[in-house]
Amino acid sequence: MMNSSNCLNNDVIMSIKLHHDLSGLLSKKEKTDYILTSASGKKFPAHKIILVAHSPNLRNLIKDSESDSLFIDIQDHDMDLLLQFLYTGTIKDIIKQNCINLLKIADKFQLENLFLLTQYAIGEQINVENAINIAVIARKYNLSKLQLKVFSFIKDNPKVMQTESWEKLQDVELTKKLLEHIYAKE
């Protein structure tokens, strides 16, 4: 029987990850035992234990492989970001990154914490011109907190409905949800 008082909650786990930054291992590339190869053919030395510990998708790919290397069809910059996240639990200057690519990486490698981090970064960048596109992205990746944030932004900024993105929006379900949010009784 496991004593529930000994279980770690997500806040504790995140705190441990933040205080155990393994970026030194990534930058020094010492004692690596696995190679990831990007779409361009560039080789990225890594530690197998780090890869399998943080990504269920990588765990399965590595488990099913008899090789000490793996081809991943992503660009070099995206591979750098993936490894940065796996080794550090964060992305440096995430606001400056292409958050759509980060969501694709999070989805492809089943990185729940990268979804959370990226969701926060995107939420900080909502404006009148990009609000509809962000709502579409939130729906696509099922990011409910981001969706609520962008819906509230649109409710407070009706000029969004005068943008080209609004004119081109064809997602009926998203439009219904947005209108329900706007006209919901408070």
Query: Do both 89 and 133 map to the same domain?
Result: no
Q: What is the pLDDT of residue 13?
A: 43
The verdict on 159 and 92 lying in the same domain is no
CATH number for position 17: 3.30.710.10
Nearest Cα neighbor of 85 from 101, 73, 71 is 101
Does residue 148 share a domain with residue 82? no
What is the residue-level pLDDT of the chain in tens, covering all 186 positions?
Answer: 333 333 334 554 455 445 455 555 455 556 788 999 999 999 999 988 888 888 989 989 988 888 899 999 999 999 999 999 998 888 988 889 999 899 999 999 999 899 989 999 999 999 999 999 999 999 999 999 999 999 999 999 999 999 999 999 999 999 999 999 988 876
Answer with the one of 101, 136, 163 that is the final residue of a domain. 101
- Do 47 and 93 have their domain in common? yes
pTM assigned to the model: 0.75
Question: Does 131 lie in the same domain as 97?
Answer: no
Same domain, yes or no: 86 and 1: yes
C-alpha span between 34 and 47 (Å, rounded): 6
As for how many domains the chain has, the answer is 2
Residue 17 lies in a domain: yes
The whole-number pLDDT of residue 32 equals 85
CB 128 within 8 A of CB 160: yes
Last residue of a domain, one of 60, 86, 101: 101
Residue 174's pLDDT is 95
DSSP line for 106-142: HHHHT-HHHHHHHHHHHHTT--TTTHHHHHHHHHHTT
Domain interval for residue 70: 1-101
